[in-house]
Chains A and B, each alone.
Chain A
Amino acid sequence: MSPWLQHLPVMPIVVPLIAGATMLLFAESQRRVREGIALLATLMQLGVAIVLMYLTTDAVPEIWNRGIGVYAISAWPAPYGIVLVVDRLSALMVALSATLALPALFYSVARWERVGVHYLPLLQFLLMGLNGAFLTGDLFNLFVFFEVLLAASYGLVLHGSGVARVKAGLQYIVVNLVASLLFLTGIALIYGVAGTLNMADLGVRWSTIVAADRGLFDAGVAILAIAFLIKAGVWPLNFWLPPAYAAAGAPVAAMFSIMTKVGIYAVVRLSVLLGDAAAPAPLAGSWLFYGGLATLIFGIIGILASQQLARLIGFVIIVSSGTLLTAIGSGAQSLTAPALFYMISSALATGAFFMVTGMTERTRTAPVSDVADVAPMPEVSYRAFDVEDMSEQRVMNEEAGIAIPAAMAFIGLAFVFCVLLVTGLPPLSGFIGKFALVDSIVSAIHAGELAERNWALVVALLASGMAGLIALSRIGVRLFWTVTERTTPRLRVIEAGPVAFLLVLTMVLTASAAPMMAYLQSAAQTLHNPQVYIDAVLAEPMQSSGQSSVQPEVLP
């Protein structure tokens, strides 16, 4: 096979890194260059992701057989070295993050990029972390990439500074630092007992752990799972989420709408590899189910209670996490594909929604009150750091964009679309996702595969849609139709474009639901058949000399 195809799996990590680093070589003043690099990098990632998705469909079996690509970093095979594993799911997630990144990038070029320094590099590093987390097949490496994306997300949350952001950012950071400590504890225990860090190898070994050590191993996995669930935004570990997302700038928040999915992704991977049924407490089905249900209900309540749009969307994100976890926890594999479809739709929708919010709430995009009385840095350090002082007014003033006559109409329409998407009302993809979920739940119950308790999920799903409609119509009417109409915001193509892009994507998703669902169904199939994954990862050359499958025994 061609050498470049061979190296494809590592591209989603290397490309953003190089792009981010290269941007640092150009001063903030050379915006166009930086933007060019960022755009190029993001497009490349999107392209790579699409090719990866294509390869995982077994279209070219001679490259990857059975739809799983394994890339051994620094040529050391699993379980010794670190491997990147591309299957349908991970490829999909990479594609999704790139898809969100593109509009976020364009949107931020309009204004956001300039309310602080190093915005674009941070965005690239965030992507690097996301892609790494999705692709890596090694537990500790997963930790490292979590840290990468978290570090970048700290930077992005704080981007633009200001009281609200710093307040929310502080809490966000502390919570995530604690989560990282839990993460490390879990990994340590797992290594101490199972003696491996590679996930596939873990999938082999965990069953052979002697009873005396099983408790320790389970404890490790449990603590690890808590770390994931904190990131997934499970109640009661998700209090950090709404304020942080509400405080972050519109494009940043839009980008974040995929971050909770990383936690869920990790949970799914691990629980599947450890065999859902036998998996330790927090990963076992019923725990996820009830945890997810609690999250879902918490999200619904939050949606009803919140008055501010951005905050409300934060709760919408919580709802979608809850839905996903409940669907996963319900234990019926037929729910996975619809859940994934729902996840894609909601990720795109919340992304678009945050951007629309950014357009409606101009106040959030101009933290004048905070930057007003900042003493600028003395000359000397600007020379030292090559940053010319960007006077705030230049940052704040809206360079006259093309004021489309129907600016408000566009925003209003976009708002309505987003409402339809997040509440899962017809005819957009949100509905398709919810319908598919409800349909498969009911048919599973009808077939006797699922317990009656799953009716609760159906009810919660519909209720969340209703709650969203009530709250959003309230806010929407207040926002667009109250007679005290604020001056119509200038709409810029560069801001409207991304939103339109995302909305069109959801429409495409709606129209071509069948092929997408087919892909997802095969993704779910691969996911729920971990043996394929394990074989693919561990079936590497040099395996013979390895001892990945030895039973733990007392050394002399």
Chain B
Amino acid sequence: MASDGRPDRRGGLARWAALPAIAVTLALFVAPLGVMAAHSLWARDGGATVASWSLANYREFLGNEALLAALANSLEVTLLVTALSVIVAYPIAWVLAYRVPRRLQRLALVLAVLPFWTSYVIRSYSWLLVLSENGVINQVLLGLGVIDAPVGMGNTRGATVLGFVHFFVMLLTLTTFASLVQIKESYRMAAADLGASPLQVFLRITLPLSLPGVAVGAFLTFVLAIGDYVTPQILGGGRELLLPQAIMLQVARRADFPLASAMSVVLMLVVTAAYLAFAKRLRMDRV
């Protein structure tokens, strides 16, 4: 009871209600990351892991050309995917925000991101159907006489990039749209009244004001793409490995948990670095 005779607003139950969720997060998320970080400093002896502290796994990772190449491939692919997705998504979001009649806007937006909800595995498989040697694109091009023989487009870096861009265009369309519709029309009208051409209005008003949404989408794209195993495995194949594929190889084929842990820690550090790089632009709450 509080002093004014009312029941205490800050009751006993509310004070403890957050503890189960925090306990679960600590036990199933924070602690496992700690265990993983510890493993990355341990050694592998035969099939067993020995708790002898050293940086040997990191040295092995950074000294192994194939593993290092996987890291470089991942960075290249992810940066390319992020840039391409922004370039493709921006015009779509712009048209949805400013050219589609208001009463159709919500429907148009929901439609534009509907395939977002297909599972990773299915989405990548669908692109395989489109890109394979007897797939849709080859058959159309053959039918039109553009090419004489089918072109193999699966199992390439291009296929991986395409599969990624398809997914992240939807994400970026959402975040960019959210930023664009918040820009007051009066800003653009004022600029136009003061003599700015439509291009100037876009470059000096719309584009800068929409950057927070683009930045959030680009950041999410980077984080989700660099950690994805499925898309490169299905569409890129084994010819050129990305970092998540290399990590999975250590686990699945060699059961080398210490090395896989070290590689995962590096992957986390890359994501953290990306976060810090984006942090100034990121205002999640605004989108």
Q: Do A and B bind each other?
A: no
Footprint of B on A, CB under 8 Å? Answer: none
